[in-house]
Structure 1
Amino acid sequence: MIQLKHTRHQSTSALIERAIRTAEYYGFTSLETSLARGKSALPPQKLDTMLIARRDEKPLLQSAKLCLSTHRQVGEIPLLWRVVKNQSGTREPLASVTLELHVVGAPAAIAEALLITVVNAIAEEAGIGNRSLAINSIGSLESSNRFVRDVGHFLRKHIDSITPTLRPRAVQDPLGTLIQLFEKGHPAMPRAPQSVEYLTEEERRRFWDLLEYLEMSGIPYELQAGVLGSRDFWAHTLFEVATTDEETGSRIAFASGGRYDPLASRIMGTPSTAAVATITCEVRGKSAIPPIRKIIPALYFAHLGAEARRRALPILETLRREGIAVEQSLMYERLQEQMERAKGMKVSHLLIMGHKEAMEGTVLVREVATNSQEAISIPDLPSYLRRQKVRI
Structure 2
Amino acid sequence: MSTIQAIKGTRDILPGEVIRWQQVEAIAKAILERAAYREIRPPVMEFTELFARGIGEATDVVSKEMYTFPDQSKKQRSLTLRPEITAGLVRAFIQNKLFAEGSVQRLWHIGPAFRYEQPQQGRQRQFHQLDVEVIGSRNPRADVEVIAIATDILQALGLKSLRLDLNSVGQGEDRQRYREALVSYLTPYQDELDPDSRDRLTRNPLRILDSKAPRTQEIVQSAPSLLDYLGSDAQRHFDQVQQQLTALGISFQVNPRLVRGLDYYTHTAFEIQSDDLGAQATVCGGGRYDGLVAQLGGPDTPAIGFAIGLERLIILLEQLQRQPPPALDFYLVARGGKAEAQSTVLAQTLRQSGCSVELDLSGSAFGKQFKRADRSGAVACLILGEAEAESGLVQLKWLASGEQTELSQAELYAQVPDLLATIHPLRADAIS
Match of 2:25 among 13, 16, 27: 16
Q: Is the 8 A contact 2:54 2:264 kept in 1?
A: no
Alignment of 1:228-247 (within 5 A): 228-229=259-260, 232-245=263-276
For residue 87 of structure 1, report the CA deviation from its aligned partner. Answer: 4.3
Report the aligned-residue RMSD: 3.4
Q: Can you list the C-alpha shifts for 1:247-289, whole angstroms capped at 9, x where unaligned? A: x86662100100111222201354221111111111979xxxx
2:53 aligned residue: 47
Q: Is the 8 A contact 2:61 2:115 kept in 1?
A: no
The structure whose residues are more often helix, as a share, is 2
1:110 aligned residue: 141
- Is 1:81 matched up with 2:108? yes
- Is 1:66 matched up with 2:89? no
Secondary structure of the residue that 1:99 maps to in structure 2?
strand
2:173 aligned residue: 142
For 2:88 and 2:198, how far apart are their aligned partners in 1? 30
For 2:149 and 2:23, how far apart are their aligned partners in 1? 17
For residue 179 of structure 1, report the CA deviation from its aligned partner. Answer: 2.7
2:292 aligned residue: 263
Q: Can you list the C-alpha shifts for 1:82-123, whole angstroms capped at 9, x where unaligned? A: 112234647933543211111011011111100000000000
Match of 1:98 among 101, 110, 129: 129
Q: Can you list the C-alpha shifts for 1:327-352, whole angstroms capped at 9, x where unaligned? A: xxxxxxxxxxxxxxxxxxxxxxxxxx
For 1:115 and 1:182, how far apart are their aligned partners in 2? 32
Distance 1:89 1:200, change over 3 A: same
For residue 175 of structure 1, report the CA deviation from its aligned partner. Answer: 1.7
For 2:151 and 2:286, how far apart are their aligned partners in 1? 13
For 1:274 and 1:183, how far apart are their aligned partners in 2? 35
For 2:254 and 2:214, how far apart are their aligned partners in 1? 16
For 1:214 and 1:79, how far apart are their aligned partners in 2? 20
Secondary structure of the residue that 1:268 maps to in structure 2?
coil
Match of 1:198 among 223, 229, 236: 229
1:175 aligned residue: 206
Distance 1:148 1:58, change over 3 A: farther
- Is 1:25 matched up with 2:34? yes
Q: Is the 8 A contact 2:270 2:286 kept in 1?
A: yes
Q: Is the 8 A contact 1:67 1:102 kept in 2?
A: no
For 1:272 and 1:18, how far apart are their aligned partners in 2? 30
User: Aligned residues: percent identity?
Assistant: 20
For 1:157 and 1:23, how far apart are their aligned partners in 2? 48
Q: Is the 8 A contact 2:59 2:263 kept in 1?
A: no
Secondary structure of the residue that 1:261 maps to in structure 2?
coil
Distance 1:81 1:258, change over 3 A: same
For 1:255 and 1:184, how far apart are their aligned partners in 2? 27
Q: Is the 8 A contact 2:110 2:130 kept in 1?
A: yes
Match of 1:226 among 219, 243, 257: 257
Which letter does structure 2 place at the counterpart of 1:268? G
Which letter does structure 1 place at the counterpart of 2:127? S
Which letter does structure 2 place at the counterpart of 1:65? R
Which letter does structure 2 place at the counterpart of 1:76? S
Distance 1:164 1:280, change over 3 A: closer
For 2:272 and 2:261, how far apart are their aligned partners in 1? 19
For residue 231 of structure 1, report the CA deviation from its aligned partner. Answer: 7.5
Distance 1:88 1:142, change over 3 A: closer
Alignment of 1:359-374 (within 5 A): none
For residue 172 of structure 1, report the CA deviation from its aligned partner. Answer: 2.3
Q: Is the 8 A contact 2:123 2:311 kept in 1?
A: no
For 1:219 and 1:154, how far apart are their aligned partners in 2? 35
For 1:96 and 1:230, how far apart are their aligned partners in 2? 17
For 1:243 and 1:119, how far apart are their aligned partners in 2? 13
For residue 232 of structure 1, report the CA deviation from its aligned partner. Answer: 3.8
Larger radius of gyration: 2
For 1:256 and 1:183, how far apart are their aligned partners in 2? 23
Which letter does structure 2 place at the counterpart of 1:256? G
Which letter does structure 2 place at the counterpart of 1:258? G
- Is 1:276 matched up with 2:305? yes
Which letter does structure 2 place at the counterpart of 1:67? F
Secondary structure of the residue that 2:100 maps to in structure 1?
coil
Secondary structure of the residue that 2:132 maps to in structure 1?
strand
Which letter does structure 2 place at the counterpart of 1:27? A
Which letter does structure 2 place at the counterpart of 1:113? V
Which letter does structure 1 place at the counterpart of 2:294? S
Alignment of 1:307-346 (within 5 A): none
Q: Can you list the C-alpha shifts for 1:198-229, whole angstroms capped at 9, x where unaligned? A: 11122211111011110011000000122104
Match of 1:121 among 148, 152, 155: 152
For 1:23 and 1:49, how far apart are their aligned partners in 2? 26
User: Greater CA deviation, 75-84 or 120-129?
Assistant: 75-84
Question: Number of residue pairs matched?
Answer: 268
Distance 1:268 1:105, change over 3 A: farther
TM-score, length basis structure 2: 0.55
Q: Which has the higher contact order (CA 8 A, sep 6+)?
A: 1
For 2:234 and 2:223, how far apart are their aligned partners in 1? 21
For 1:92 and 1:250, how far apart are their aligned partners in 2? 11
TM-score, length basis structure 1: 0.61
For 2:285 and 2:236, how far apart are their aligned partners in 1? 22
Secondary structure of the residue that 1:228 maps to in structure 2?
coil
1:353 aligned residue: none
